Structure 1
Amino acid sequence: MPPARLLDVSRLASRAGQVATGVELAYLRALTADGATPVFGLCRTALGFVLLDRFGLLALGQAFSTRDFPKPDILSRLNRRLSGPARLGQSFVRRQAVARSTRGRLKRLLRRMPAGFTYLNVGHSNLTAPICRAVKAQPDARIAVLIHDTIPLDWPDMQRPGTVAQFKARLAVARKFADRIICTSDACASDVRRTMAGTVPPIVVAHLGVDMPRPAEEEVLIGLMPLRPYFVMLGTIEPRKNHALLLDIWENWGPGAPELLICGGRGWGNADVFARLDAGVPHVKEVANLTDRAIAALLSGSKGLLFPSFAEGFGLPPLEAAALGVPVICADLAACRELLGDWAVYVNAQDRYSWTKEITRLMQTTPQDREGSLVPPDWSAHFRTALAGF
């Protein structure tokens, strides 16, 4: 029998009851679908650690699919430090647990795992030295860590308070304990090698899979889809995504401007952009909490996706648009060039004149001018590379 895998689901459990796609859920589904390899889950809770078996992980995945989590138990309800989703998630995993331990007895809990297991941390929430030491204390146990990017260190002024130090500490743990680092692009791998001082663990590059939902029917989008030509910007409204550039362009456009749909929730450190959106920018509309199908439909009907981000380790929105055959104007980033090739038009993220020029050019195109679509990476290829030998 192949060695067992232990997936850390701490970050995933902290988002219980919310719409969750992402890497952690993709790993959970792939590992539980592999009937040939034993799989377990590890979750850190306010009371210690919880160990799940395959059935517990399947139940967690099903709960995310239906967004049907039972009410939190009394232990979670009494803990005022926990968010609402964390209360739901921690209560759920405790109910599904095959074993539990206090924080100081994790090493003992992990003795229940088969020898030679691999601990997979793809969400970073539990990536600490004590946990890695407890894993390494088990016979022939290995650790694989997925790193999306090094943006917190490269763009510290655009991060939430405390994020930079936290990320630096986690990167140091990965460098010291990981037997494999999984990077989402060659550009990300290059950044990891540059950022890590000294010897770097073996790195594999595995592009993330892109799940393409079927676009929602037009009836669902009544009131959302503009009647005039429009563009879409997709992603959390945070400084790194460079929404300010497009707001500058639209504020100075004048008559004949297309519509701009800003799809994404408000993030952090972006008070100026939030104030401008609240005051109103001509022909700019902010929409949030859309389903994946609604976003796919809005992208399909648009003139194109605009992606002026300052930094990316992968860049999912441009790939999603290209997979739908939608034109993309993109910041000139190494990761985007790696994944999109000649599909996108690349523009310096600070060159407002060139962005205006390319957006105006794209306005003149018709659906008949589009040629096919880009075939995006898939999850099966990701897991073949990321988990080979692990």
Structure 2
Amino acid sequence: MEPLKTSRGRALQVLGDPALLTMDRMAEFTKRFDSDPRIVTCSLVAGTGAGEVWVRATAPAGVVIAIAEDAQDLVGPLPPDDDAALAAWFLATAERGLWHDHFLTHHRDVAKASALMELAAMDAQEVLDPSSAAFAAQEMRGPSRRLTVAIDATWLGPYETGAQVLTTAAITAMATDERIDSIYVIGVKELPAYAQHLMESDRVRIVAPGEVIAQCDIVWYPNQIDGRSNIGDARALGRRVITTYLDLIAYDIPRYHGSPEAWGTYRALQRRIALSVDGVTAISADVANRLLAEVPRLEPQRVHPLPLGLDHIVGASAPEAPDADLDQVLAALGGKRFIAVLGNDFQHKNRDFAIAVWQRVLQAGQPCDLVLAGLHVKSSSSKVAEDAMLATHVDLRGGAHTTGHLTGRSRAWLLANAAAVLYPSSAEGFGLVPYEAAILGTPSTFADFGPLKEIAGVAGLPRQWSVEAFATDLEQLLASDTAAQQRVADLQRVIAEHTWQGFATGLIDFFQLILARPTVLTSAVGGTAADTAALASILSSRTWRATASLRKVGSKLRRK
């Protein structure tokens, strides 16, 4: 291709396929060169953004490179066709303080062309850094593009509880949405038995440890990030990082930590993570509002309450008999009526309180046994209090039985065959047990608070954790078929309104919303000590303080 000249007379040499330098692009290049004499190269680079944009880089790259000949007086003549010599010449211009600019375009002709030079190491690094111009230029996606999503599955352990249901049910529903191109499951070597069905979808695949995948649109943490995950790693995996806050139970309860210092570190981490990610979903408005109250600098438009689906339990049926893990309990029950309490013995599950409620029900003339099912936790357990209460229990109208974690079959049998379920938890992000019982036809009693009040909306529940209030409600469920059936019907109506497909639709809507927004200043940092220091620096900076009023105004305008 013949040398070009800009309107101001700068002579240019062009490397690469001249057909790619269309008239419009040629005009862009010459205008760019004339804008500042320090610009020594302009490169045509395939971008992933929704439009076309100029970005300053540290070296040329891409499919076409235009070079200003006037730099030769500073660094010597342009070398002939010698890649190493040419790279050295470009480096020499940069060391003189001259600039290399990239013109990023999403057009297919550029995307399909072979690159003359790959991105320099520094430029490739900064594409992944949300604080950089390169990241900002690449981040904006077109609205019709199908999304690639990496999903952290670190929490998929051997036992399936609510946190695991969230991950598996959401992936299953998301994989059927046409807006999703691919789902990459990360953080797990192999799927546990209850999650094996995820591999039935062509859109889902497991990423092996150490395997490198192309950067996704979204990295989603279905469970809030703690010390097991490093958000800094997520920045290389996705253009946006979104996490779901299940609850703030460990944030609130000091005993769930080894020391006051560990508790303080955890609390600080949860606040900083909220400020470090691009978006937050919460499994109830109760959790979302609490998070916003704890982290007032968090932008409300980046926090989205998204209640869980419940239809995964719709097909549940009561097995004729439980598995062997309930053999001893089954033998001890001997066909007697019983109340079930399901949940590990964390203190906030209030199993000791449940024993007191059950004993009051016995005293009121409602004979029944009590079955306490759930794992024993090593710390923050109510086991000592439970054992002390049961050791002095002498009421012959009912006996208590304890068992550990149950298989899904045994859990379903227990819920279906209980006369009622007692669920006295005082800290929840959602609370699945009452719905699981209702779908099997069993009524439950629980406190009318937080997410259970918000989502269930059931009348006549205990308003506080008093033995009398719970015992009164439980007695009514045991004594009146009408009351029991009404409680079940109320909860089944809620189940019908909350589907996992609806959850997935709302989640993908939120993904697209966050992709369409620029990253916030604080999303440039992660969870390491260095990141913590960086975040503290940002939040204490004059710029952040000076723009606080503007962010508030913007938030008000968006809510109108």
Shorter-chain TM-score range: 0.7 to 0.9
Alpha-carbon distance between aligned partners in 1 of 2:372 and 2:265, rounded to the nearest angstrom: 30
Structure 1 residue corresponding to 2:372, chosen from 244, 247, 262: 262
Distance in 1 of aligned mates of 2:284 and 2:182? 28
Residue of structure 2 equivalent to 1:312: 428
Match 2:355 to one of 247, 252, 257 = 247
Q: Secondary structure at the match of 2:425?
A: coil
Q: Which residue of 2 aligns with 1:164?
A: 263
Match of 1:353 in 2: 468
Q: Deviations over 1:85-112 (max 9, x none)?
A: xxxxxxxxxxx656727xxxxxxx56x3
Of the three residues 298, 319, 334, the one matched with 1:217 is 319
1:301–1:133 distance in 2 versus 1, CA, 3 Å: closer
Q: Which SS does the other structure have where 2:335 is aligned?
A: coil
Aligned letter for 1:177? S
Identify which of 192, 196, 204 aligns with 2:304. Answer: 204
* Alignment partners' CA distance in 1, 2:321 and 2:208: 46
Alpha-carbon deviation of 1:192?
0.9
1:277 Cα offset (Å): 7.0
Q: Which residue of 2 aligns with 1:104?
A: none
Q: Relative to 1, partners in 2 of residues 1:136 and 1:346: Cα closer, same or farther, differing over 3 Å?
A: same
Matching residue's letter, 1:25 = T
How many percent identity over aligned positions?
Answer: 18
Match among 493, 497, 520 for residue 374 of structure 1:
493
Quote the Cα distance in structure 1 between the aligned partners of 2:321 and 2:282.
Answer: 40
Q: 1:358 to 1:132 in 2, by over 3 A?
A: closer
**Structure 1 residues 285-333: Cα deviation after superposition (integer angstroms, max 9, x where no partner):** 1123322333233223323221111111111111222333422211131
- TM-score normalised by length of structure 1: 0.73
C-alpha RMSD over aligned residues = 3.4
CA distance in 1, matches of 2:183, 2:501: 17
Distance 1:257 1:244 in 2: 19
Matched, 1:119 2:219: yes
Using the TM superposition, give the Cα deviation of residue 352 of structure 1 relative to its aligned residue in structure 2, in angstroms: 1.3
Which SS does the other structure have where 2:219 is aligned? Answer: strand
SS of corresponding position for 1:37: strand
Q: Could you tell me which amino acid in structure 2 is paired with residue 306 of structure 1? A: L
Match of 1:388 among 509, 512, 517: 509
Kindly tell me the number of residue pairs found equivalent between the two proteins.
332
Q: Is the 8 A contact 1:121 1:146 kept in 2?
A: yes
Aligned partner of residue 218 in structure 1, secondary structure? coil
- Once the 2 structures are TM-superposed, how far is the Cα of residue 141 of structure 1 from its aligned partner? 0.5
Bigger CA drift: 330-339 or 295-304?
295-304
Q: Say if 1:214 and 1:293, in contact at 8 Å, map to a contact too.
A: no
Report whether the alignment pairs 1:22 with 2:132.
no
Distance 2:367 2:289 in 1: 40
Match among 140, 145, 148 for residue 4 of structure 1: 148
Structure 2: runs of 5 or more not aligned: 1-144, 198-205, 512-560
- After alignment, is 209-218 or 315-324 more displaced? 209-218
Query: 2:304 is aligned with what amino acid?
Result: V
Match for 2:444 among 321, 324, 328?
Answer: 328
Match among 150, 157, 181 for residue 248 of structure 2? 150
Q: For residue 206 of structure 1, what is the amino acid of its counterpart?
A: L
- C-alpha separation in 1, matches of 2:250 and 2:339: 29
Q: Distance in 1 between matches of 2:494 and 2:448?
A: 21
For residues 389 and 360 of structure 1, the distance between their equivalents in structure 2, rounded to whole angstroms, comes to: 44
Distance, in Å, in 2 between the alignment partners of 1:374 and 1:302 is 21
How far is 1:62 from its partner? 7.0
For 2:4, the equivalent position in structure 1 comes to none
Verify: 1:194 aligned to 2:309, yes or no: no
- Which stretch of the first structure deviates more once superposed, 281-290 or 191-200? 281-290
Residue 37 of structure 1 aligns to which amino acid in structure 2? Answer: D
Structure 1, residues 110-157: CA drift from partner, whole Å, max 9, x if none?
Answer: 6x325xx1111123456789x43454467x800110001112233334
- Specify the alignment match of 1:81 in structure 2: none
Structure 2 counterpart of 1:382, one-letter code: F
| TM-score, normalised relative to structure 2 | 0.52
User: CA offset at residue 374 of structure 1?
Assistant: 3.1
1:184 to 262, 283, 296: 283
Could you say which residue in structure 2 is the equivalent of 1:273?
Answer: 385
1:121 and 1:127 in contact (8 A); partners too:
no
- Cα distance in 1 between the residues matched to 2:191 and 2:475: 44
Question: What whole-Å deviation, never above 9, does each CA across 1:239-297 have from its counterpart, x for those lacking one?
Answer: 10111212223446457531122121112322423533774745221123322333233
Q: Secondary structure of the equivalent of 1:320?
A: helix
User: Quick check: which has more Rg, 1 or 2?
Assistant: 2
The one-letter code matched in structure 2 to 1:258 is C
Task: Mark the runs of 5 or more structure 1 residues left unpaired by the alignment.
Answer: 45-49, 51-59, 68-95, 102-108
Whole-Å Cα distance in 1 between the matches of residues 296 and 183 of structure 2? 33
Q: CA deviation at 1:361?
A: 2.3
- Tell me the distance in 1 between the aligned counterparts of 2:508 and 2:227: 19
Amino acid at match of 1:314: F
- Structure 1 pair 369–361 and aligned structure 2 pair: CA distance change class (3 A): closer
Partner letter of residue 235 of structure 1?
G
Native 8 Å contact 2:348 2:426 kept in 1:
yes
For 1:209, what is the secondary structure of its paired residue? coil
SS in structure 1 opposite 2:446? strand
Letter in structure 2 aligned against 1:2: R
One-letter amino acid matched to 1:374: R
8 Å Cα contact 2:344-2:375 kept in structure 1: yes
Contact 1:277 1:286 in 2 (8 A): no
